[in-house]
Structure 1
């Protein structure tokens, strides 16, 4: 590389700026101008490939989108009251929606896992009643799913033991989807 050659980063920045202001150290040096032209062609081809990929993907089924939105609406509700021990001076409780938030936070903390939905089965309003938790996740393609499911189960169980007074009978993990990390697109 001679002293007149500029870095790829500088060429990319110059191209991003729309080649304004004119930079003679790039435009008037043949080696740099050639690299700039190659970078510009690469960007055009990449854009075309992305556009072709996007056109090849079918539009999502509207029923799928409405199903996701319905799950979000259901989980956003506060739900049932879950009693907490108190000194008797006041009645304390945690909402089922808050517990679902704890479950989601714990499950999402496991690398490669994304919580799709979660539910609490059993009488959460009765102290010492057994509660069964179901967590539906999307798993990162290429990850060993049984290990990921065990890690989600452990994270959710620990979170619930630390933050609630629920009598957890079981934490069931259901893999409902697989996703790609780069795009976040489910398959």
Structure 2
């Protein structure tokens, strides 16, 4: 491993230091930036859970957080190129699949009580107008009514993709891969 390798530990230490001094290997690399944003979001959600439910919710085991971060790391890779229509026929515009997964993750994580574990684009994303299915696996951490949470995640992801991509989304499938209920099974 070279000194330039950016590990999750390095990203975590950088976040702990308040992102100072500026680290271009993290801040200027889209994959590392996506991991940094995901880790910051997970820490924020974890802090809120600890504050809100310190006595009621058992802490998730360390393997759970490591598993989520491993999925984020895999999904942060560029992946396929998705074309974007432009006014100039000589210009080739595209966005990476990793960037689109980042949009999906951000939209889903914005729903109260949900954390996106993984997201997959299924279909021919390299052809504008080709039908695409989006599968988003979430963790329902707050003991919320899961069907309503899934509908909120689906709507948030759909709005974000419609506003910021040219994907012809035919369906957004929400899979609940993990649920952390309150100790008494009730709502917060």
**Both structures adopt the same fold (TM-score exceeding 0.5):** yes
Larger Rg: 1 or 2? Answer: 1
Equivalent residues of 2:111, 2:153 under 8 A apart: yes
For 1:83, the equivalent position in structure 2 comes to: 83
How much does 1:68 deviate?
Answer: 3.9
For 1:33, the equivalent position in structure 2 comes to: none
For the pair 1:100 / 2:98, whether they are aligned, the reply is: no
Q: Tell me, what secondary structure is at the counterpart of 1:170?
A: strand
Task: Spell out structure 1 runs of 4+ moving beyond 6 A.
Answer: none
How much does 1:72 deviate?
Answer: 2.4
For 2:145, the equivalent position in structure 1 comes to: 144
> In structure 2, what is the Cα distance between the partners aligned to 1:58 and 1:178?
11
> In structure 2, what is the Cα distance between the partners aligned to 1:167 and 1:102?
16
Q: Tell me, what secondary structure is at the counterpart of 1:128?
A: coil
Q: Tell me, what secondary structure is at the counterpart of 1:157?
A: helix
For 2:113, the equivalent position in structure 1 comes to: 112
For 1:134, the equivalent position in structure 2 comes to: 135
Query: CA 1:118/1:180 → structure 2, altered by over 3 Å: closer, same or farther?
Result: same
Q: How many equivalent pairs are there?
A: 126
Unpaired runs of at least 5, structure 1: 1-49, 182-187
> In structure 1, what is the Cα distance between the partners aligned to 2:110 and 2:91?
34
Unpaired runs of at least 5, structure 2: 1-53, 183-188
| Structure 2 length-normalised TM | 0.60
For 2:169, the equivalent position in structure 1 comes to: 168
Equivalent residues of 2:143, 2:180 under 8 A apart: no
Query: CA 1:68/1:113 → structure 2, altered by over 3 Å: closer, same or farther?
Result: closer
How much does 1:179 deviate?
Answer: 2.8
* Structure with bigger RCO (C-alpha 8 Å, 6+ apart): 2
